[in-house]
Amino acid sequence: MALTLFNNITEDLTKHEKEKIVPAMLHIFEFTNENARVTNTQIRKYLVNFGFNTSDVRVRKMVNYIRQLNLCSPAVLIGASNGYFITKIITVVDAQIESMQGRVDSQAAVIDAMKAQRENLKRQYQKQ
């Protein structure tokens, strides 16, 4: 499902991405660990060098696909500010979950604030 205002970059994965690019990414992740990470840009450049035209945003979309389908099993794909890596260490997975939950909570707070701002706008327009 594409996100409103971001349609061109968040559209669903194509058959080509699922069948060709995702397996290439999984191959890349096989060589990672907590001390050997790969950045989004490095992944994109590797893919482009092998003829897969993609973008940083699409790489992130494919990372989400990999995570949702548990394609790194029995390991877990972790993302940090300094790159992606796979791990089987539960405490590392717990830290990733905590980090992601913090981002979700922060986004929820922004949504609540924007809803309040929208209501303020409605009241202003009703007064006019």
pTM of the model: 0.84
- The DSSP code for 69 is T
The position carrying tokens 């594409």 is 2
Q: How many degrees, rounded to 5, is the angle at CA 55 between CA 59 and CA 108?
A: 60
Return the percentage of the chain with pLDDT > 70, whole number. 92
pLDDT (0 to 100) of residue 8:
57
Residue 98, C-beta contacts closer than 8 angstroms, at least 6 positions apart: none
Read off the pLDDT of residues 61-76 as tens digits, 9 standing for 90 and up: 999 999 999 999 999 9
- The DSSP code for 32 is -
Q: What is the mean pLDDT of residues 83-106?
A: 97
